[in-house]
Amino acid sequence: MRRFYGDRLKRAAHLLLFKRGRLPGAKSWELKSRVGEDYKEVLEQLNEILEAIDLEVKEVGEGEEGSSRFFVVLKGTIKPVEAKMMGWRIDNLAGLAITIAYIISKQGKALRKEVEELLSEKLGRWKAMTLLDIYERSGYIAEEEGLLSLGWRARAEVDLGRLMTSLLGGGQPPSDQF
């Protein structure tokens, strides 16, 4: 495999790690123009470096033909204590799990009213409404004409197959110990 000079790796790392616009990460065309035509190979090399600190580069398609956005995500997972330190409450994480899973079970689109009712059974109506607004603002879900779908952040951050297996397996880890 070809090796690249440090400055191209640095440029790619800066583009991916530092938030410049509304959304984190960098678009494929940005990487192409700032890092070079062979930016995917540069990202592979960057991945080798990031792997040592439990991070990796992830590509998420953006709907437009051939366009995608690249992010740096945590390769492993985090513990509940760490999630709390990041400002997440257990209730909010549980609500997010159910919201994403329910949207998936409805094949990617679910009525907001239904999700609100589902969440309000355990969290109360007011909290359910507030949480859905928070999830939408953070990009985990998107809303159009009262229909909820998965947002860009859910597609970038959540291993959807593993989430469904884990939930339907009664909350137990699919194979490994948590």
Partner 1 sequence: MGALSRKGLLEILRDCELVEKRAIDPFLFDVRRVLNKVREIHPRLSSLEDHCLDAKVLNAISRVLSLQGIQLKFQSSSLYSSPGALKGVMERLSPEDLAKAFLRSWHPIVELEGLTLEGVQAGLSYWSGLKPYDERRRRIERKGGMPPEGVDEAHLERIGIARGDFMKKMREYFEEIVKRSKEGRLRYWDFVRAPSLREAVERAYYASFLISYGFVGLEGFGEDLEISLRGGRAGGGRIGVSVPISISEEAIKGGSG
DSSP 84: H
Dist. CA 123–CA 134, nearest whole Å? 14
Q: How many CA atoms lie within 13 A of 28 on its CB side?
A: 15
Residues 68-97, one symbol each (x = binds partner 1 by CB under 8 A, - = not), give ---xxxxxxxxxx--x--x---xx-xx-xx
Give me the least distance between CB of 44 and partner 1, in Å please: 18
| Residue 170 binding partner 1, by CB under 8 A | yes
Distance of CA 30 to the CA centre of its chain: 20
Q: Tally Cβ neighbours within 10 Å of residue 178.
A: 9
Say how many CA atoms lie within 13 Å of 141 toward its Cβ. Answer: 28
Tell me which stretch binds partner 1 (CB under 8 A): 4-12, 28-36, 41-49, 146-154. Answer: 146-154
Under the criterion CB under 8 A, does residue 10 sit at the interface with partner 1?
Answer: no
CB of 165 to partner 1, least distance (A): 7
Which 34-63 residues touch partner 1, going by CB under 8 A? 55, 58
Q: Are 99 and 135 in contact (CB under 8 A)?
A: yes
- CB nearer to partner 1: give 38 or 174: 174
Please, what's the b/e burial string for 82-103 (b: 16 or more CB within 10 A of its CB; e: otherwise)? Answer: eeeeeeeeeebeebbebbbbeb
The residues binding partner 1 (CB under 8 A) are: 17-20, 24-25, 55, 58, 71-80, 83, 86, 90-91, 93-94, 96-98, 100-102, 104-107, 109-112, 118, 121-122, 129, 132-133, 136-137, 143, 146-147, 153, 156-168, 170-171, 173-174, 178
